[in-house]
Amino acid sequence: MDRHIDEHHECESQTPTRNIIFGKYEVGRLLGQGTFAKVYYGKNDATNENVAIKVISKEQVRKAGMVEAIEREISVMRLVRHPNVVGLKEVLATKGRIYFIMEYVKGGELFSKIAKGRLKEEYARKYFQQLISAIDYCHSRGVSHRDLKPENLLLDENENLKVTDFGLSALPEHLRHDGLLHTQCGTPAYVAPEVLTKKGYDGAKADIWSCGVILFALLSGYLPFQDVNMMKMYRKIFKGEYEFPPWFPPDGKRLVSKLLVVDPNRRLSIQGIMRQPWFRKDPLSSYLPQPLQVPDHQDPKVASPRFFNAFEFISSMSSGFDLSSLFENNKKSGSMFTSKCSASAIMAKFEGLAKKLNLQVSSKEFKLKMQGREEGRKGRLLMTAEVFEVAAEVTVVEFSKCSGDTLEYVKFCEEDVRPALKDIVWSWQGETNCQLNCNS
């Protein structure tokens, strides 16, 4: 067993033949490794479910300035739930390492198949259909992958494709004021020409270019833009210079030619891809599982609290495995708790508390402000409570001090807030879960 796992005595139980981490996952053989992470085969000790365990060194991530990439990857994988995307089951951590518990995909990389030569057209079509289905879903959630390549496309035991590695992906909040992305990233042979410029680019359109490169590779067995000289390769990409081999199917040529278009505004859209004859030749239903139906539990007549950033939730609420020490920021003083009560029930509870304590209160949507009527050491205490959705039956409440004395705020939380909210709190930040008495 690799020492990378064995050294974590604080979270493991060891026997001569088994290595269990967090009392839950048995760690097996090393599957692969990169600069900052190692991936192991694992098994849920309670359910016998196979998993992949990605182990990341916090110290290496800090030194390399990769904090944002880890934050982003967790956020995106929590957001994107699709049968052709590798699923993230949970994130755990110790003082020194972060553990991604992920879906185990046993078929290996699509790259391994392409490395042996071109694929039969029906297999290339199947993989490309599933890739487009996954990317269409990602784009519908505002996620651009930005590093699509066969090495990041895995195959399961049923030869279904699974997109992985969202470390370079982008969310809407990464757009600049011009509505574009500006970070140059990706793998050179697959990167869109506009990404190489400094003018900004549309992440979804850049992903479509990468899909075109992948389709070319699937049907030809090699890459459209390749040269031992990097600058020559970039010049080919900028000009869109490539040649089809004689065996390339005519409908496939027409499709690739509409994807590898240098001008992103003339490049085929996802919807356009789905209308192409080559793409539609085989029934999609025989290859494409339906996207997972994740109920949003939203009544169109009732406003809903905004969705809580998945990474913030994991960082702040993972009981015993707090990641916040790795990704510190300058947030104002606050307390956080989870609840299984509805957002409206929580808001009503806070309004009742404010009235009972004779606080001035105002609310908008699912954010409530409370202000003391008496002057303290640093003026009147002003606090906010905001409710976020995390899942169908879980909400997160962030209770923060906006102004006033911190010691007065801490005393107020301990003596007034916590006792008053005990019947709706599932767990305060960093504490173990407790029973809920809420019937909402």
Would the annotation count 54 as a binding residue? Answer: yes
Distances (CA, A) of 203 to 89, 169, 194, 241, 391: 26, 9, 10, 22, 27
Q: Which residues are catalytic?
A: 147
Across the strands, what pairs with 400? 334, 384
Spell out the long-range contacts of 184-190 with Cβ–Cβ below 8 A and sequence spacing 24 or more. Answer: 185/146, 185/147, 186/146, 186/147, 186/210, 187/147, 187/149, 187/151, 188/230, 188/233, 188/234, 189/149, 189/213, 189/223, 189/225, 189/226, 189/233, 190/147, 190/148, 190/149, 190/214
Pair of tokens at residue 244: 């089809």
Q: Which of 143, 149, 102 is nearest to 127 (CA)?
A: 149
d(CA 398, CA 386): 5
211 near 192, Cβ under 8 Å?
Answer: no
69 near 168, Cβ under 8 Å?
Answer: yes
212 near 225, Cβ under 8 Å?
Answer: no
Across the strands, what pairs with 14? 19
Question: What single letter denotes the amino acid at residue 326?
Answer: L
Residues comprising the binding site for ATP? 54
